[in-house]
Amino acid sequence: MRKLIINSKIKLSVVLLAFAGLTASCSDFLDTPPEDVFTDDNFWTSENNVKTFSWLNYNTFNGYGNNAGTTADFYFHASSTGLIDDNLAMNVFTNFLTAPNATNTNWNEYYTLIRRCNLMLERVPNVPMDQAKKNHYIGVAKFFRAHTYFRLAQQFGDVPYTDKYLAQSDANVYKPALSRAEVIDNVIKDLEEAIPMLLNVDDSNVTVNKYTAYALLSRVCLGEGTYRKYNLAQNGSVYLQKAKEAALAVMNNNSFKLNADWKALYNSVELMNNTEVILTKRYIKGVLGNSVQAYTNTSTVQNGLTKFAAESYVTTNGLPIKQAGNAQFLGDATIANTFANRDPRFAKAFSNADYAYSDKPYNGLTSITGYVFQLYNNPATTGTDVSTIGQNQIDAPVFTLSEVYLNYAEACAELGTITNVDLDLSLNKVRTRAGIATLTTDGTNAAAGGVQINDPQRTTALEQISGIVNPIIWEIRRERRIEFMAWTTMRKEDLMRWKKGDYLDTNSNPDVVLGARIPALIGGTTKTRVNAQGYVIPYAAGVSRLFVSPKNYLNAIPTNDINLYAAEGVELKQNPGW
């Protein structure tokens, strides 16, 4: 099967390259194209051509990046991508942009993809093919259009919206931006229309199907419900109920099951047919590689776990490490104590054998914070498949059952209706797989092993900036953080919808720029700086990052596009603070 897919992709790559230009602009067509080149007039003639065209859409999933690229959904993040998060400190200090850029890669790529989707939706109904497959590809186009507008709204707020394939001369090309709320409602409409059209399974979990759309719908509606609650002080219950129902549709499909090993989601060479993965991005030798293993297994200084994130790992009894009376936590004076009795995912993601820093590498590795990242390590991969940039082959998850479980639990908690039955259906399955005590709740509080959880971190001054949440919501948020520790895009999106941008501010949250505790370095003459308590200071003195609200909750609208709209007599408003 793998060989067949490789050969098919190579054979069809010429078609993709020849036809890709059709989606760029209507003015790109030649008056008299060569007879052996596809045009919009002669392409839409078969199911195979439609399928080929739809493959272009999957490039939008960054996964672990493409070849040597570090624009990814996992691990890699830099100020240019807007993916600064509070879990991993970049090996070079990153800050927010201070002024709008003329262009934005995401903006350009997203609108190109939307144009492709609108073209599909216009042409596919007239292609001679089986009606069920025709409906499926219409659903695929609606899925990708929805996914893309969702990300545009997340990143830019109010954005131009069109559901038509327009000629460049059409006046509707330059319509005023639609409100973020209206865009999201259109996203939900697209997904709800796509779900009954999509096949239950199509090419296993490597292409979009009905349950991929349900998974996305749960993500979108959870995002919108919590965004309205925490950012706009509105009632998001309608969206939260939709999120719960969409998640349940996936959970009720017995084809999906959690892997026995959590780490297998992130270090597997093959995720095709994996029962936990609803959609995967495949990397195939000779076709497409990534660099995530190379960056975490070579002399490149690793991005490192922050103190703020490390302290979020509970002990195996399910209690926070700072909870009074938690005897399982042995402190962090040594690496052995730091990892002792902790959530097993901690040691699966980061080495518990030793810290590594510039003065004392571990197995040739160094980390900006001392914590050695090892989540992507696969003992079966060797040589250039590990060490060479652009040649790593582990597959990346895009939608997973574990996310759907946690979407369900969070939606129930935010609705104020969560029960122990809900927890056992969802979050507790994730915790059982991880190897930590399960939770119970009275609808507001949380308990583990019969002990009520009272995490002092939940009510700190940092939390009070935008508002304290109740204990069960706090623990569900913790579970998302740990379960998806290096899923950088997901963590950033969560912080924005919860209105927790202050987590990224180094003044409000100094722990976000501290690393492991290494007391032996206190007062030493090493290149690695530590504070008075021995926590690694990864960056130069005086470095700081200020999170400005509301500015940093949205990206700037590219100024070139603002000017382009202005030239057509239409105002495209810049986002607040920019």
Write out the E strands in 321-476: 396-400, 439-441, 446-448, 451-452
Give the model's confidence band at 35: pLDDT under 50 very low, under 70 low, under 90 confident, else very high: very low
Predicted structure pTM score: 0.94
Mean residue pLDDT across the chain:
92
Tokens at 275, concatenated: 């029962």
**What's residue 79's pLDDT?**
61
Written as one letter, the residue type at 447 is A
Tokens at 307, concatenated: 């103190």
- Helix H or strand E segment including 132: helix 131-156
Residues 102 and 381 sit within 8 Å (Cβ to Cβ):
no
Tokens at 161, concatenated: 């919206």
Per-residue burial over 540-552, b = 16 or more CB atoms within 10 Å of its CB, e = otherwise: eeeeebebeeebb
Written as one letter, the residue type at 287 is V
Residues 572 and 565 sit within 8 Å (Cβ to Cβ):
yes
Give the model's confidence band at 77: pLDDT under 50 very low, under 70 low, under 90 confident, else very high: confident
| Cα 370 to Cα 515: distance, rounded to the nearest angstrom | 6
**What's residue 78's pLDDT?**
65
Report DSSP state, residue 35.
T
**What's residue 37's pLDDT?**
60
Structure confidence by residue, pLDDT tens digits, 526-562: 899 999 999 999 999 989 999 999 999 999 999 999 9
Report the DSSP beta bridge partners of residue 280. 397
Structure confidence by residue, pLDDT tens digits, 298-326: 888 999 999 999 999 999 999 999 999 99
pLDDT greater than 60 at residue 330: yes
| Cα 79 to Cα 90: distance, rounded to the nearest angstrom | 10
User: Which residues, including other chains, have CB under 8 Å from residue 402's CB and lie 6 or more apart?
Assistant: 258, 265, 276, 430, 483
Written as one letter, the residue type at 13 is S
**What's residue 83's pLDDT?**
86
Structure confidence by residue, pLDDT tens digits, 11-33: 333 334 334 444 333 223 223 33
- 216 or 82, higher pLDDT: 216
Share of the chain above pLDDT 90, in %: 89
Structure confidence by residue, pLDDT tens digits, 119-172: 999 999 999 999 999 999 999 999 999 999 999 999 999 999 999 999 989 989
Question: How far from chain centre, in Å, is Cα 150?
Answer: 13
Whole-angstrom Cα Rg for the chain: 24
**What's residue 29's pLDDT?**
25
Phi, psi of 243 (to 5 degrees): -60, -45
**What's residue 80's pLDDT?**
65
Q: CB count, 10 Å around CB of 130?
A: 9
**What's residue 41's pLDDT?**
81
Give the model's confidence band at 117: pLDDT under 50 very low, under 70 low, under 90 confident, else very high: very high
Tokens at 266, concatenated: 């992130």
Structure confidence by residue, pLDDT tens digits, 225-243: 999 999 999 999 999 999 9
- 35 or 446, higher pLDDT: 446
**What's residue 14's pLDDT?**
32
Task: Tell me the C-alpha to C-alpha distance, in Å, between residue 315 and each of 328, 389, 431, 474, 524.
Answer: 6, 36, 12, 16, 32
Q: CB count, 10 Å around CB of 25?
A: 12
Written as one letter, the residue type at 76 is F
Phi, psi of 507 (to 5 degrees): -80, -45
pLDDT greater than 80 at residue 573: yes
Structure confidence by residue, pLDDT tens digits, 378-394: 999 999 999 999 999 99
